[in-house]
Amino acid sequence: MAAIETVGLTRMFGRRCAVDSVSMTAPKHAVYGFLGRNGAGKTTTMKMLIGLLRPTSGVARVCGVDVAQDRRGAARKIGVLLEAHGFYAHLSGRENLDLTRRLLGLAATEIDRVLEVVGMTRDGGRRVGDYSLGMRQRLGIARALLGSPPVLMLDEPTNGLDPDGIADMRLFLRELPIRAGATVLLSSHLLGEIEQTATHVGVIHEGRLVVEGELARLKAELAPEIGLRVDDPARARAVLQSLDLTLSEDAGGLVARLRPGNDHDQVCAALNRELVAAGVAVFAIGARARSLEGVYRAASALSQSRFAESV
């Protein structure tokens, strides 16, 4: 049984479709990175998973519990960090946690436990109004951990953090499945953040889940790419047009995407030969690391081409 599962989850706002038939699966003990641009449908999907929004159609399940049928049963299985933390600034971190603890009917010792997990035992007595954003994020995670729910849903947990805070948070999130035995659903619009934290990813684009799976597998399935740094990219493009590959350009220079099955070394040598023969100076040529950005770009491109075909 998956920790989180949706089947054909759809949500309309009037005539606008914010989430379009999303079927996603987050396996147990995974760190599932839910990736998409701002406005892609991440938050709407997450709100349906915690019962804040009702789906127009489709099903959302948390640990097998249908959210629409048994909201409270599903809510017992999931701890949530929302973008708006909802802390009472005039109360201390400990007092804020205590309010939620009482609503959940948990023992008072839970507060010490979760504060320790997020490394905030010393700061628990301070007013939340005096906390930095990073401390509020960690307190939010502590609150989500109350009662040790099997699933944690964290909406943009590194938002507003400084570089050190982001690095700490990444490490913390990576360790969460081991520390807390939980499955983590992590939403972000930052590719690097997801790449360094998640074991599984789902990419949502204009309300549709365009790619999903284990991150390592998705990267392995990517067509190999060769990066090129040349003196005249326009001329290089013209020279390479006759070869069986796809050319694009990014901040690092030209990128040649190979066809599946092409021999990487052979193509590299052929590219170099053609360019040198045509008088293009080649400064650097080599394999590019397969990245989540590549997965994301490929998925977005596929989604756009499908959309163009359907119009």
Partner 1 sequence: MLAVLSVEIRKLNRSLALVLAATAPALIAVFAFSMLLRSETPWEWERWIGSATAIWAYFMMPMCVTALTALVAHMEHGPRSWDHLRALPVPRWTLYASKAVCVIGLVLIMSAAVLAMTIGAVVLGGLIKPEAAAAGGLDLAAHAWILAKIAAAAVLMIALQFWTAIRFASFVPGLVLGIGGTFFGVVATSAKEGVFMPWQMPVNILATEAWRVQTALTLGGGLGLVVLAAAVIHLARREG
> Considering the rule CB under 8 A, would residue 16 count as an interface residue with partner 1?
no
Least CB distance to partner 1 at residue 76 (A): 5
Among 32, 34, 87, 131, which residue interacts with partner 1 (rule: CB under 8 A)? 87
Measured N-to-C along each axis, helices 133-145 and 163-180 cross at an angle, to the nearest 10 degrees, of 10
> Considering the rule CB under 8 A, would residue 62 count as an interface residue with partner 1?
no
Least CB distance to partner 1 at residue 189 (A): 19
> Considering the rule CB under 8 A, would residue 184 count as an interface residue with partner 1?
no
Q: What are phi and psi of 214, to 5 degrees?
A: -70, 135
8 Å CB contact between 13 and 58: no
Give whichever of 99 and 287 is closer to partner 1, judged by the CB atom.
99
Contact string (CB under 8 A) for partner 1, positions 127-166, x = contact: ----------------x-----------------------
> Considering the rule CB under 8 A, would residue 68 count as an interface residue with partner 1?
no
Contact string (CB under 8 A) for partner 1, positions 207-226, x = contact: --------------------
Q: Residue holding tokens 């006759």?
A: 242
Q: What are phi and psi of 88, to 5 degrees?
A: -90, 110
How far apart CA 140 and CA 96 sit, in angstroms, is 10
> Considering the rule CB under 8 A, would residue 270 count as an interface residue with partner 1?
no
The stretch near partner 1 (CB under 8 A) out of 88-96, 116-124, 219-227, 250-258 is 88-96
Rg (CA), the chain: 23
Q: Residues in the chain, how many?
A: 311
> Considering the rule CB under 8 A, would residue 172 count as an interface residue with partner 1?
no
Give whichever of 14 and 163 is closer to partner 1, judged by the CB atom.
14
> Considering the rule CB under 8 A, would residue 50 count as an interface residue with partner 1?
yes
Among 52, 59, 243, 270, which residue interacts with partner 1 (rule: CB under 8 A)? 52
Give whichever of 52 and 190 is closer to partner 1, judged by the CB atom.
52
Number of residues this chain uses to bind partner 1 (CB under 8 A): 30
The stretch near partner 1 (CB under 8 A) out of 56-64, 87-95, 214-222, 278-286 is 87-95
How far apart CA 88 and CA 105 sit, in angstroms, is 20
The β-bridge relationship of strands 200-205 and 31-35 is parallel
> Considering the rule CB under 8 A, would residue 7 count as an interface residue with partner 1?
no
Among 2, 10, 66, 73, which residue interacts with partner 1 (rule: CB under 8 A)? 73
Among 30, 80, 152, 201, which residue interacts with partner 1 (rule: CB under 8 A)? 80
The β-bridge relationship of strands 57-62 and 65-66 is antiparallel
> Considering the rule CB under 8 A, would residue 53 count as an interface residue with partner 1?
yes
The stretch near partner 1 (CB under 8 A) out of 86-94, 171-179, 192-200, 257-265 is 86-94
Q: Which residues contact partner 1 by CB under 8 A?
A: 47, 50-54, 71-73, 75-76, 80, 82, 84-91, 95, 98-100, 102-105, 143
